[in-house]
Chains A and B, each alone.
Chain A
Amino acid sequence: MTTTQLDSLDSQVNEFTEQFQNVKDEISRVIVGNEEIIDGTLISLLAKGHVLLEGIPGIGKTKIVATVADVLHLKFSRIQFTPDLMPGDIVGSDVVHESDTGEKHLAFQEGPIFTNILLADEINRATPKTQSALLEAMQESSVTVGTTTHELAPPFFVLATQNPLEMEGTYPLPEAQLDRFFYKLKISYPEAHHMHEIMDRTTRREEPTAGMVLDRDQILTMRDTARSVPIARSVQDYAIQLTLATHPDTPRSHPLTQRYVRFGASPRGTQTLVIGGKVSALLNGRVHVSCEDIRAFMLPALRHRVLLNFEGEAERIDTDTILEAIMKDTPEPSE
Chain B
Amino acid sequence: MSKATERSTITGVLKRIDLKVRVNQTLQHLSVALCFLLGALLLIKAAPLLVPVSMPPGTWVVVAGSAAFLGFVLWSQLGGRRLERAAGVLDSRAGLNDEIKSAYWLMRQEDSSPWIDLVVARAAATAHRLDPRRLVPVALPRRFGVALALFVLLQLLALVPSNGPVLTFAAVSDSARFERLQEAYVEDLRDMIDGVGDELLDEEARGLLEEALEELAADETSLEEVLRDLREAQDALDEGNLEMIATRDALDELMQELTGSNELAEFADALGNQELSEAAELLRELSERLGDLDMADLADLGDQLRDASAVDEPVIQELLDALEDAAAAIAENRLEDAQEALDRVAAALEELSAQGAQQEANNDAAEAAESMQEALAQQPGGSPGQTQAQMAQSASLSGEPTDAPATQPSSEVTRSKGGSPGTQSGPSGNATGDPSGGELELGATTTLEAQLALEVIDGSAPDSPEEELDPEDLFQEASRQQSSIVQYRDVRAPSRYSEGSALNAERIPWRYRGLVKKYFLAIRPEERK
Contact = CB atoms under 8 A, between A and B. Distances in A.
A binds B: yes
Interface of A: 1, 5-6, 9-10, 228-235, 284, 286-293, 333-335
Given A6-B114, A234-B105, A334-B85, A290 B119 contact: no
Interface stretch (B96-104, B352-360, B471-479, B491-499): B96-104
A230 B106 contact: yes
B121 A6 contact: yes
Contacts of A10: 118
A228 B115 contact: yes
A9 B118 contact: yes
Contact of B88 (A231, A233, A333): A333
A288 B122 CA distance: 10
Contacts of B114: 1, 5-6, 9
Contacts of A290: 97-99, 102
Tell me the interface secondary structure of chain B in the complex. helix
Interface string B151-177: 000000000000000000000000000
Nearest to B82: A335
B85 A335 contact: yes
A289 B103 CA distance: 10
Given A291-B98, A335-B82, A1 B88 contact: no
A222 B88 CA distance: 30
A1 B121 CA distance: 10
Find the residue from B89, B97, B98, B119 having the highest chain A CB count within 10 A.
B98
B349 interface: no
B101 A229 contact: no
A232 B115 contact: no
Contacts of A233: 105
A97 to B, nearest CB: 50
Interface residues of B, number: 25
Given A232-B106, A234-B105, 15 more contacts: A1-B3, A1-B117, A5-B114, A229-B115, A232-B101, A234-B84, A287-B119, A288-B102, A288-B123, A289-B102, A290-B97, A290-B98, A292-B98, A335-B82, A335-B84
A286 B105 CA distance: 16
A6 B122 CA distance: 10
Contacts of B117: 1, 6
B118 A292 contact: no
A288 B121 contact: no
Interface in B96-141: 97-99, 101-103, 105-106, 113-119, 121-123
B208 interface: no
A9 B89 CA distance: 28
A229 B122 CA distance: 13
Contact of A292 (B97, B106, B119): B97
B102 A232 contact: yes
Nearest to A13: B118
A6 B118 CA distance: 6
A11 B121 CA distance: 15
